[in-house]
Amino acid sequence: MLKRQFIRQTAITVLSDPGTPVTTAGEIGLTLAGDNIFDTHLDPLQLLDCGCDRRALPAIAVYSESETLNTSDPYKYDELCFDQCNLSLVLELYACAAKGYELEAILDQLEQQVRIKLLPDTRFYQLAHLRGYRSTPRRAGDGKRLGMRVVELTLAYHETVQMIDVKPVQGIVVMPECGMQHMPPEGAKVPDNAYYRRLLRVGDITLVKTRRTKTSKTTTAAEQKVKPETASI
């Protein structure tokens, strides 16, 4: 599972938890959206059933907009570590009301509840550092029945990818993560992904077995020298 997916699912879990504070006074419960929290981008008009269905609103849609990765040296560790991952996590807040000022009040209250419930929760903030927060009001439909507030969180975190030790068997093997360089004959550590797994299946590369160290053999020899003396005693 990609970390951005895990962050998204954690945000939904936290917002759906009735056992955490939802107001500055410490009141416990759900937000105005209740259980209407979705892991997808929604068409706001689809939330309206037969005009204005108050039972389906308010609602919150959670999705990731963009992600940028900066890659460190793939040969330094057994795992490929991204020095910095920047994720744009979007929460769209939907509400409906008969009058415009009521709609804005509901969206303001819902946004405040999201801040109080999500941002301080250890399950969420231990996954990534909050680097930015932007709230943008939008209108959907005719601008009166349905209102939308877009909250965008800029998150920074580190992510690792498991590496495998391989070497080429035949032909030239290029390494996309290293700017399409050719794999050296002695092999290299590469990400354990679909590209290299396919090369393993067709026989273009092979896994390199980990060599055993000589430390254990030296110790065994030293122990054997002591055994005759011990036997004579």
pLDDT of residue 213: 44
pLDDT digits (tens, 9 = 90+) for 135-168: 998 765 445 567 889 999 999 987 666 788 999 9
- What is d(CA 161, CA 159) in angstroms, rounded to the nearest whole number? 7
Answer whether CATH 3.30.420.40 is correct for domain 3-160.
no
CB within 8 Å of 226: residues ≥ 6 apart: none
- Name the helix (H) or strand (E) containing 103: helix 100-118
Q: Give the CA distances from residue 199 to residues 135, 166, 168, in Å, rounded to whole numbers and listed in that order.
A: 46, 10, 9
Show the CA angle centred on residue 63, arms to residues 113 and 86, nearest 5°. 95
Q: Identify the CA nearest to 117 among candidates 24, 4, 9.
A: 24
Domain coordinates of the chain in residue numbers? 3-160
pLDDT of residue 44: 58
pTM of structure: 0.63
Side-chain half-sphere CA neighbours of 189 within 13 A: 13
pLDDT of residue 171: 86
Residue 50, Ramachandran bin (φ over 0: left; ψ between -120 and 50: alpha; else beta): left
Residues of the chain with pLDDT under 50: 50-53, 74-79, 141-142, 212-223, 225-233
Phi, psi of 109 (to 5 degrees): -65, -40
User: Could you tell me whether strands 37-38 and 59-71 are parallel, antiparallel, or unpaired per DSSP bridges?
Assistant: parallel
- What is d(CA 169, CA 152) in angstroms, rounded to the nearest whole number? 48
Residue 179, Ramachandran bin (φ over 0: left; ψ between -120 and 50: alpha; else beta): left
pLDDT digits (tens, 9 = 90+) for 45-69: 565 554 444 556 899 999 998 888 7
Q: Are 216 and 222 in contact (CB under 8 A)?
A: no
